[in-house]
Amino acid sequence: MMAGLFACLSTAALSGCGGSDPDTPTPTTAAQAAGDLVRTNQYPGALAVRVTSASIEVNVAGIARIGGEAVSASGRFPIGSLSKSMTATLAGILVQEGGLRWDTRLLDVLPELRVIAQTDYSGVTLRDLLAHRSGVIALTHAEQIAQVPPLVGSPREQRLQFTAWALTLTPATKPGAQVEYSNGGYLAAAAMLERAAGDAYESLVQARLFAPLGIAATFGAAGAQDGEPWGHITTDGKHWTPLDPTDAAALLPAAANPAGGVKMNGAELGRYLQLHLRALRGEPGLLIDPATARVLHTVVQDSFALGWAARFDSHGNSLSWHEGSDDTSYLAEMAVIPATDTAGLVVINAFGPATFADANRALLSLLP
Q: What would the pLDDT profile of 36-56 be if each residue is shown by its tens digit?
A: 999 999 999 999 999 999 999
* DSSP label of 113: G
- Give the confidence band of 15 by pLDDT, cuts at 50, 70, 90: very low
* DSSP label of 362: H
- Give the confidence band of 248 by pLDDT, cuts at 50, 70, 90: very high
H/E element, 91: helix 83-97
Q: Which residues pair with 319 in a beta bridge?
A: 311
Q: Are 326 and 5 in contact (CB under 8 A)?
A: yes
Q: Are 306 and 293 in contact (CB under 8 A)?
A: no
The string of DSSP codes covering 166-222 is HTTSPPSS-TTT-----HHHHHHHHHHHHHHHTS-HHHHHIIIIIGGGT---EESST
**Mean pLDDT, to the nearest integer, of 32-37?**
97
The string of DSSP codes covering 245-295 is TTSTTT---GGGHHHH-EEE-HHHHHHHHHHHHHHHTT--SSSS-HHHHHH
The string of DSSP codes covering 48-81 is EEEE-SS-EEEEEEEBSSTTSPBPPTTPPEE-GG
Fold of 30-77+216-365: Beta-lactamase (3.40.710)
* Torsion sign across C-alpha atoms 81, 85, 86, 92: positive
What angle, rounded to 10 degrees, do the helices at 83-97 and 266-280 form? 50
Q: What would the pLDDT profile of 302-351 be if each residue is shown by its tens digit?
A: 999 999 999 888 788 889 999 999 999 999 999 999 999 999 999 999 99
- Give the confidence band of 99 by pLDDT, cuts at 50, 70, 90: very high
Q: What would the pLDDT profile of 189-238 be if each residue is shown by its tens digit?
A: 999 999 999 999 999 999 999 999 999 999 999 999 999 999 999 998 88
**Mean pLDDT, to the nearest integer, of 56-62?**
98
pLDDT at 2 over 60: no
Portions of the chain given CATH number 3.40.710.10: 30-77+216-365, 88-202
Per cent of the chain over pLDDT 70 is: 93
How far apart are alpha carbons 129 and 308 in whole angstroms? 13
Q: What would the pLDDT profile of 76-95 be if each residue is shown by its tens digit?
A: 999 999 999 999 999 999 99
Q: What would the pLDDT profile of 256-278 be if each residue is shown by its tens digit?
A: 999 999 999 999 999 999 999 99
Q: Which of 218, 208, 213 lies closest to 264, judged by CA?
A: 218
Measuring CA to CA, how many Å separate 215 from each of 106, 265, 290? Answer: 29, 9, 21
CA angle (14, 343, 66) in 5-degree steps: 70
Cα 194 → chain centroid: 19
The class level of CATH for 88-202 reads alpha beta
- Give the confidence band of 27 by pLDDT, cuts at 50, 70, 90: low
What angle, rounded to 10 degrees, do the helices at 83-97 and 290-297 form? 140
Q: Which of 68, 50, 8, 36 lies closest to 226, judged by CA?
A: 68
Q: Are 58 and 274 in contact (CB under 8 A)?
A: no
pLDDT at 147 over 90: yes
pTM, full prediction: 0.93
